[in-house]
């Protein structure tokens, strides 16, 4: 079974600084997708960024970027120039392409942004 | 465009009672998913509908859980009888069907229903 591990329950970052969230996963498959979702307090989960496993280039969405290391099965998220609105729970998720659409999530990392 | 909505937002019931959660997906989305997060644990997949058919129900914990999606629109998840370990947040998500490429990757989540079984 595939598993996703987020080893940092909570991370704190100063406004305008950079924070990196770690995510590792365990799979024997080669064709899959990886995602980072953000859930602000009392709000719904939204997709932040996604990565296809066959693409070597790391995905980037504005201030959010990933460091995808396929051999190491690592998929970290970097938030640059942190803003107060970035405070949220961040979930790493995996989707095995041939197993339908279901997502396997990590336990989440809470990000606190200090003004 | 309205997002995924869930009702109720919170529910507090006693052990042995029945609770029904409702999810309204984004209009036109064929795929509907249920997930739940039990306190302190990961978000776990429960099941996946494609229109009104159950595509994958491998995550349903036991037969106390019944999900339906009549007419391929909204879905309900009934827990009967509820047990203490059913407490948690139940998320619904939807995604487009029959769309190839990146548009089909994203699952759009609702705000969740927080269930507390006493």
The percentage of chain B sitting over the pLDDT mark of 90, rounded to a whole number, equals 77
Q: How confident is the model at residue B13 (pLDDT cuts 50, 70, 90)?
A: very high
Q: Is the pLDDT of residue B99 over 90?
A: no
pLDDT of residue B69: 96
Cα–Cα nearest to B4, from B37, B40, B29, B41: B29
Q: Which uninterrupted H or E stretch holds A75?
A: strand A74-79
Which range, of A74-83, B16-25, B54-63, averages the lowest pLDDT?
A: B54-63
**Backbone φ, ψ for residue A7 (5° rounding):** -85, -10
Chain B residues lying within 8 Å of A45, measured CB to CB: 91, 109
Give pLDDT tens digits along chain A (115 positions): 679 999 999 999 999 999 999 999 998 888 889 999 999 987 889 999 999 888 889 999 999 999 999 999 999 999 999 999 999 999 999 988 766 778 999 999 999 999 9
Helix (H, G, I), strand (E, B) or coil at B107: coil
Chain B residues lying within 8 Å of A46, measured CB to CB: 109
pLDDT of residue A50: 92
pLDDT of residue A97: 73
Residue of A nearest to B39 (CA): A107
What is the DSSP code (8-state) at residue A30? S
pLDDT of residue B52: 93
- CB neighbour list of residue A15: distance below 8 Å, 6 or more residues apart: A82, A83, A84, A113, A114, A115
Residue of A nearest to B37 (CA): A107
Mutate to test the interface with B, among A35, A103, A104, A110 (most CBs of B within 10 A): A103
pLDDT of residue B89: 95
Q: Using CA of residue B27, residue A40, residue B41, residue A21, what is the dihedral sign?
A: positive
pLDDT, tens digit (0-9, with 9 covering 90-100), for B73-98? 999 999 999 999 999 999 999 998 75
Helix (H, G, I), strand (E, B) or coil at B1: coil
pLDDT of residue A96: 83
pLDDT of residue B103: 54
Residue of A nearest to B42 (CA): A107
pLDDT, tens digit (0-9, with 9 covering 90-100), for B44-58? 999 999 999 999 999
Residue A106 CB-half CA count within 13 A: 29
Residue B38 CB-half CA count within 13 A: 11
* Residue written as token pair 């997060």: B37
pLDDT of residue A102: 87
């Amino acid at each position: 079974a595939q598993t996703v591990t987020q080893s940092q329950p909570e991370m704190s970052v100063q406004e305008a600084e950079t924070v990196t969230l770690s995510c590792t996963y365990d799979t024997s498959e080669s064709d899959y997708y990886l995602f980072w979702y953000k859930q602000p307090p009392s709000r719904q989960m939204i997709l932040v960024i996604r990565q296809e496993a066959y693409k070597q280039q790391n995905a980037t969405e504005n201030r959010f970027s990933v460091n995808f290391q396929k051999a190491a099965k690592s998929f970290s998220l970097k938030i640059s120039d942190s803003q107060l609105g970035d405070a949220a729970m961040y979930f790493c998720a995996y989707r095995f392409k041939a197993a339908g659409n279901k997502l396997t999530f990590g336990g989440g990392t809470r990000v606190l942004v200090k003004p | 465009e309205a997002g995924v909505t869930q009702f109720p937002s919170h529910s507090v019931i006693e052990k042995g009672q029945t609770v029904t959660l409702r999810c309204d997906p984004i209009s036109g989305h064929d795929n509907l998913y249920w997930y739940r997060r039990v306190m302190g644990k990961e978000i776990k997949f429960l099941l996946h509908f494609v229109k009104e058919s159950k595509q994958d129900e491998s995550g349903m914990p036991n037969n106390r859980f019944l999900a339906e999606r009549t007419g391929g629109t909204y879905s309900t998840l009934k827990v009967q009888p509820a047990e203490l370990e059913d407490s948690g947040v139940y998320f619904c998500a939807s995604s487009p069907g029959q769309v190839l490429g990146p548009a089909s990757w994203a699952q759009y989540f609702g705000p969740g229903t927080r269930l507390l079984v006493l």
